[in-house]
Amino acid sequence: MDLDSGRILYKKDIETPRLIASTTKIMTAVLALESKKMDQMVTVGEEVLKMYGTSIYLQEGEKMTLRDLVYGLLLRSGNDAAVVIAKYLGGSEEKFVAMMNEKAKQIGMEKTKFQNPHGLDEDTQNYSTAQDMAILSRYAYQIKEYRKISQTKKHVVSTGEKTYLWYNRNKLLTSYKYATGGKNGYTPRAGKTLVTTAEKDGLKLTIVTLKDSNPFESHQALYEEMFSKYHRYQILNKNTFSLSSPFLEGEAYIKKSYSYPLLESEKSKVKMIAKIPKEKQTQTGKVGTIEVKMGKELLTEIPIYQKKLPKKRSFFDKIGEIF
């Protein structure tokens, strides 16, 4: 999936719900990052005593900032970090899981069901699809601090009681030079799951594989294939945009440039249609739209605005200029 436009460039069985293991923690991280509590100190409770599997080895009573817990969550896949975050932000794991499902619904993850904040699946299971997880990855990528944390290769934390040194378990960050982040996961039931992001020549992509025996190799091969086929083309440039119309009284402009990933063969299919009401537009602000289409498919609609109109001179202004 293209991270900017959401266009799916390649798909295979993308709507079948599957266990997602620790890629669950992307949603846990999103809720933490959006809580505006990242600098708050969190005290580890007895919830860590029941955790097993991958861990950052938190101890009951230990204190750590929410930000550092998120580093431990994403870099080392700490199941203990996940339940501490859930308890801190939700009051209980159950309430936090409800927050996860509500967020999933808000961003369009239609076939996702969370039952825990970590991804272990012996007692409760988290199900999603490759498409839904790509939607989540795209959403998370818009958060600046998520991008920073998920691409961090090494992080050191000192709590006063212990010093932690964490290396990122996402191998793609060291094996593939265009990789920019992501999260891996594994349980015997889910198999290997992987969500990653990468960027080359302005084209930003995310790839999701569920139950893949060689996920890191698959992702690198898919990135190479997509980067060789697709390129990001700027279709509208706000700095050079101009539009002549008998229905505009002032100068037209757009507020944002627009680009889109295209195959070479698709470039000639892109067209733009300006739509302005057929009467003189004398007001400032939005006066119409530009439809960007590829064949019959509508890619986007860009608002057209009109700049502040010159003040009309009165009869007395004109007389004054004569004298």
Return the pLDDT at 89. 98
> 318 lies in a domain?
no
Q: What percent of the chain has pLDDT over 90?
A: 86
Same domain, 168 and 294: no
Least confident range from 135-149, 237-251, 276-290, 305-319: namely 305-319
Same domain, 143 and 267: no
The residue among 256 and 323 whose pLDDT is bigger is 256
74-91 pLDDT, tens digit per residue, is 999 999 999 999 999 999
Last residue of a domain, one of 230, 253, 276: 230
The more confident residue out of 246 and 17 is: 17
Q: Are residues 83 and 161 in the same domain?
A: yes
Assess whether 298 and 263 both reside in one domain. Answer: yes
* 174 and 223 inside one domain: yes
**Comparing 16 with 277, which gets the higher pLDDT?**
16
Whether 317 is in a domain gets the answer: no
Domain that holds residue 243: 237-306
Is the predicted pLDDT of residue 310 greater than 80, yes or no? no
The answer to whether position 112 is within a domain reads yes
Residues 114 and 76 in one domain: yes
Over residues 294-322, the mean pLDDT reads 77
Q: Which residues contact 297 (CB under 8 A, 6 or more apart)?
A: none
**Do 140 and 220 fall into the same domain?**
yes
How far apart are alpha carbons 135 and 8 in whole angstroms?
10
Q: Which two tokens stand for residue 271?
A: 């067209």
| Shared domain check, 214 and 255 | no
Backbone angles phi, psi at 5, to 5 degrees: -95, -20
Residue 16 backbone dihedrals phi, psi, to 5 degrees: -85, 120
Q: Do 106 and 183 have their domain in common?
A: yes
271, 295 contact by CB (below 8 A)? no
Question: Domain total for the chain?
Answer: 2
Q: End-to-end CA distance of the chain, in Å?
A: 67
Structure tokens at 315: 């009869």
Same domain? For 241 and 259 the reply is yes
Q: Does residue 82 fall inside a structural domain?
A: yes
pLDDT for 319 beyond 70:
no
Kindly report the CATH number assigned to the domain that includes residue 301: 2.30.140.30
Looking up residue 105, the CATH number of its domain turns out to be: 3.40.710.10
Residue 10 CB neighbours (<10 A): 13
Contact 146, 30 (CB under 8 A): yes
Q: Which of 172, 196, 230 is the last residue of a domain?
A: 230
**Domain contains 323:** no
177 and 246 inside one domain: no
101 domain residue, yes or no: yes
Torsion angle defined by CA atoms of residues 55, 174, 67 and 196, in that order, rounded to the nearest 10 degrees: -90
Q: Which CB contacts under 8 angstroms, 24+ apart, belong to 36-39?
A: 37/66, 37/88, 37/89, 38/65, 38/66, 38/67, 38/70, 38/145, 39/65, 39/66, 39/67
The confidence score (pLDDT) of residue 107 equals 98
Boundary residue ending a domain (208, 230, 252): 230
Global pTM reads 0.90
For residues 282 and 180, membership in a common domain is answered with no
pLDDT at 131 over 60: yes
Q: How many residues are given for the chain?
A: 323
Tell whether 281 is covered by a domain. Answer: yes
> Mind telling me the catalytic residues?
22, 25, 77
pLDDT, residue 233, reads 96
SS3 percent helix, strand, coil of the chain, rounded to 5, is: 35, 30, 40
Query: Residue 94 domain-assigned?
Result: yes
